[in-house]
Amino acid sequence: MSDVADWWRTDIIDMAPGKIRLRGQPIETLIGNVSFPQMIWLMLRGDLPGTGQAALFEAALVAAVDHGPQAPSIAAARMAVTCGLPLNNAMASAVNMLGDVHGGAGEQAIELYRMIDETGGPDATEAAVGRWQSDRGAFIPGFGHRFHKPVDPRAPRLLALVDQAVDDGVCDGRFAAIGRAIEATLASQKGKPVPMNIDGATAVIYAELGFDPPLARGLFCLSRSVGILAHAWEQRQQGGRNKGPTPPAYRWAYGGPNPIDEGDG
Ligand SMILES: CC(C)(COP(=O)(O)OP(=O)(O)OC[C@H]1O[C@@H](n2cnc3c(N)ncnc32)[C@H](O)[C@@H]1OP(=O)(O)O)[C@@H](O)C(=O)NCCC(=O)NCCS
């Protein structure tokens, strides 16, 4: 039987008829005693966070839930519902919009923060940003925002909570210092603010708490799924059929042969 039992191997859950243990803890002792963020931490890491860790983790999860129908992920959820898809398909369509440029940049942000941490800390920021830009492109992940200039209101609030957590001995603050150093480097490079955005700020928290880079993206998906579900549900209640990205009176820029002359026939 071992070839069957060993087909899937996990340290996460043990289960037998009438028994469910997650990371060794009976589900009935977890229910009613741990919060949803604590449960996410337990599932991903195998232990329960301390009170301060849980509070900081929860703040990052709260911060990223929504950015309105202009955000491609939210728009995708709403469009999917108007095409008749049920909530699960709308949510999957929306989560699939999250990538390197929208909502997924936290993964690369932690990679960069760690690279800077390993090569000398904040003093190594300018050189590391230059290396990143020549190796991986001009845009530094976790910084810049279409709308929130000069400041993304979520970032200073999240960093203030990190500062508080440092005072409380929850984390050491070295990734917050690196994030701030990147922001200063980009501001002097561009001659104007390139603000730390939600991906950059939550990446600071996830790095401070010891999460590996790919999990920043996974955690963003969990957080944004809350907003995605809310918008999909609202759209379903509103109705609307087959809504595209713009009202029908607006069209795209056509650059091919034989453009239609609106004055004709
Ligand atoms: C989010 C994003 C697409 C917005 O881009 P944008 O609308 O072009 O940003 P802005 O118009 O404010 O750009 C202002 C200037 O700063 C530069 N800039 C913007 N974000 C930058 C970044 N992350 N790194 C370096 N330079 C950046 C732009 O190139 C532009 O330079 P220019 O004036 O010389 O042309 C862009 O900042 C980005 O790709 N960031 C990295 C990915 C990321 O963090 N995504 C999550 C977004 S919440």
Q: Is the CB of 177 under 6 A from ligand 1?
A: no
* Ligand 1 contact, 138 CB (< 6 A): yes
How much is the pLDDT for 146? 86
The CB of 152 under 6 Å from ligand 1? The reply is no
By C-alpha distance, which of 30, 61, 71, 62 is closest to 48?
Answer: 30
- Establish whether residue 16 lines the binding site of ligand 1, counting it when its CB lies within 6 angstroms of any ligand atom: no
pLDDT tens-digit map of 59-104: 999 999 999 999 999 999 999 999 999 999 999 999 999 998 888 8
Q: Is 140 in the pocket of ligand 1 (CB under 6 A)?
A: yes
Q: Is the CB of 99 under 6 A from ligand 1?
A: no
Q: What is the pLDDT of residue 257?
A: 96
Rounded Cα gap, residues 178 and 176, in angstroms: 5
Q: In a mutational test of the pocket of ligand 1, which residue from 102, 110, 194 has the highest number of ligand atoms less than 8 Å from its CB?
A: 194
What mean pLDDT do residues 44-50 have? 98
Q: Using an 8 Å Cβ cutoff, are 171 and 165 in contact?
A: yes
> Encoding tokens for residue 19?
């028994």
Residue nearest (by alpha carbon) to ligand 1 atom 20: 144
In which element (H, E) is residue 13 found? strand 13-16
| 204 pLDDT more than 90 | yes
197 C-beta neighbours (distance < 10 Å), count: 22
What is the rounded CA–CA span in Å between residue 158 and residue 197? 11
> How many Å lie between the centroid of ligand 1 and the Cα of residue 145?
6
Using a 6 Å cutoff on CB, does residue 13 contact ligand 1? Answer: no
Q: Which residues, other chains included, contact 258 with Cβ-Cβ below 8 Å and sequence gap of 6+? A: none
Give CA torsion, residues 74, 80, 81, 86, to 10 deg. -110
For the segment 179-191, the average pLDDT, to the nearest whole number, is 97
DSSP state, 123? G
Does 238 score more than 70 pLDDT? yes
Protein residue closest via CA to atom 19 of ligand 1: 144
Distances, alpha carbon 262 to alpha carbons 27, 258, 259, in Å? 66, 12, 9
Q: What is the pLDDT of residue 4?
A: 87
What average pLDDT does the segment 7-32 reach?
97
pLDDT band at 264, cuts 50/70/90?
Answer: low
Question: Which residue segments constitute the domains of the chain, with CATH numbers given?
Answer: 12-48 (no CATH), 50-242 (1.10.230.10)
CB 166 within 8 A of CB 159: no
The token duo for 145 is 């925002």
Distance of CA 5 to the CA centre of its chain: 35
**What mean pLDDT, rounded, does the chain reach?**
95
